Structure 1
């Protein structure tokens, strides 16, 4: 984690998404982020059945107090609740209920908790918003996350961001996006692009949405580290969708684009 955070910081990335799911050592992970000088948004459940969501939220909150005092704790209680029926075998309504419960428990045990929702919102149809609607109606959500990838997009990111902003009137975050070098649909839909080109495209779409009135807080490249295929988690293979490779080298196209963004921000 220290190496990953160091490389992220070197590219101007000071906020990251990571996990405090059951089985992770909360104190050590929180400490690693603190020592690296990055702010984290922590997932509490990521495609698995959390057998004790109350305990999970309490441990994360109490560990954050121990490591960072009263500093704001950012949580994404459940990653992509709409996909839980397909991936975790948990009905969507149970995933939503788990997200609401963990958000409330975290706020019972920590004085300053920010809540991010995130779900695949790739179009503007009503079903796209069902899980987010349910969470927002039950919890005071701070930021609404939109997960948007090249292979699942049904309409432009501009339309998605504007529809989401008008629906909730809360800050929007592109909470997941990335480019997979080996994904044929990415190359078919967006010929000639690479990771750097996709990031430019996303930021251009964000700028247009902001021009038309949307409040967009952040864009998260996810994952930042190349990881094994979802369906073969113990494989030695890595999907090429991150900045950081398994040998700690970096993707040159994304690295150059991030460095250029950092330079323009500094100027």
Structure 2
């Protein structure tokens, strides 16, 4: 049975802090007012049976100059979680770096490790629970978005492999630094769970799709030391594996999305089993959700698939509703109705999206009863 988290269903607070191309800095923790309403938010989570959350440390606010740390943006969240008895998985790098930090510079790895050490010391000093960290969120997606297609800062092209290696080395260095502070610390990765279908039955296209599929495991393979040993990986750097699952995570290579209901769409239970077999670690759904009226049906689908995977013997530790607070969009600041709690800032009251809350309660009851395999 799951035993790592305080609740099987988790809530994830969207925490992106990247700078857009025009220089605008995103800060979704601030725009949802989670930074000033953390106690209220953790209480809302507890009221809905969620005692474990994903939250984030905002590096750009904490370290404006190298080695000069100001934790005033973090301490309210840490203390609110402590007082509420909420377990937090802390993201240390959620796409955003301080102004002036160059991810390509040789000193980046050490600087990130120094920052991780400082954060770990604060959390150790403020709480007595076993800490949990995701050093770098979505290494694979960030490497692609920031290193290959110029979507995320630093807006590079053709350097995704180079960036992935830097992020893996940074993760390893951060884990070592945190363990120096607190040997009890636990760690996770959060990586997209994808399925790529070939363009045609030709051997060339089948191989290309298979190679693309294999690439989703590069980061965890590097961390575990299964590939690229020069990066310093080893089994001690891969703990719990988080899998990010959305409606558009399956597509034809260089082609359209393969949506749920398409005969070519691979069952999520099989993808979860594949990830477990490949990583040889316990797994959890680290992100899943969708917008609008699809929110409750999507959770129903994901929970049924997770239940089937667990019945087949896959050790799944939880499902994280991500985001649990609706927020403003990355690119256009539109209202994205994708959470269980509507939270668009400007002092607006938190309101519950009842269909999703009801489905969550139903699923919590089913999992608590031990009823897993579902038709």
Same fold by TM-score, threshold 0.5 exceeded?
Answer: yes
Post-superposition offset of 1:265: 5.8
Q: Deviations over 1:26-81 (max 9, x none)?
A: 33221111112210000000112464312321122111111113x21100000001
Post-superposition offset of 1:88: 3.2
CA contact (8 A) 1:11 1:262 kept: no
Post-superposition offset of 1:213: 1.9
1:175 paired residue number: 286
Tell me the distance in 2 between the aligned counterparts of 1:258 and 1:264.
10
Q: Which has the higher contact order (CA 8 A, sep 6+)?
A: 2
| Structure 2 residue 242 is matched with structure 1 residue 145 | yes
Tell me the distance in 2 between the aligned counterparts of 1:88 and 1:100.
22
1:21 paired residue number: 58
Tell me the distance in 2 between the aligned counterparts of 1:212 and 1:34.
36
Tell me the distance in 1 between the aligned counterparts of 2:364 and 2:193.
28
Choose which of 299, 323, 331 in structure 2 pairs with 1:231. 331
Q: Which moved more, 1:10-19 or 1:126-135?
A: 126-135
CA contact (8 A) 1:41 1:76 kept: yes
2:354 paired residue number: 252
Q: How does 1:1-267 map to 2 (within 5 A)?
A: 1-22=38-59, 23=61, 25-49=73-97, 51=101, 52-69=111-128, 71-85=129-143, 86=145, 87-89=152-154, 91-123=163-195, 125-137=213-225, 138=233, 139-154=236-251, 155-181=266-292, 194-232=294-332, 235=333, 237-246=334-343, 247-264=349-366
Post-superposition offset of 1:123: 2.1
Post-superposition offset of 1:241: 0.9
- Structure 2 counterpart SS, 1:176: strand
Tell me the distance in 1 between the aligned counterparts of 2:364 and 2:314.
23
Q: Deviations over 1:2-37 (max 9, x none)?
A: 121111111100000000131253332211111122
Post-superposition offset of 1:260: 2.4
Change (3 A) 1:54 1:265: same
TM-score w.r.t. the length of structure 2 is 0.63
CA contact (8 A) 1:106 1:113 kept: yes
Tell me the distance in 2 between the aligned counterparts of 1:224 and 1:98.
28
Post-superposition offset of 1:93: 1.6
Tell me the distance in 2 between the aligned counterparts of 1:203 and 1:265.
9
Higher helix share: 1
Change (3 A) 1:141 1:67: same
CA contact (8 A) 2:55 2:91 kept: yes
CA contact (8 A) 1:83 1:92 kept: no
Computing the radius of gyration from Cα coordinates, the structure with the larger value is: 2
CA contact (8 A) 1:26 1:63 kept: no
Computed over aligned residues only, the root mean square deviation of the Cα atoms, in angstroms, reads 1.9
Post-superposition offset of 1:263: 4.4
Structure 1: tracts of 5 or more residues without a match: 182-192
Structure 2: tracts of 5 or more residues without a match: 1-37, 63-72, 102-110, 146-151, 157-162, 197-212, 226-232, 252-265, 344-348, 370-375
Tell me the distance in 2 between the aligned counterparts of 1:12 and 1:196.
16
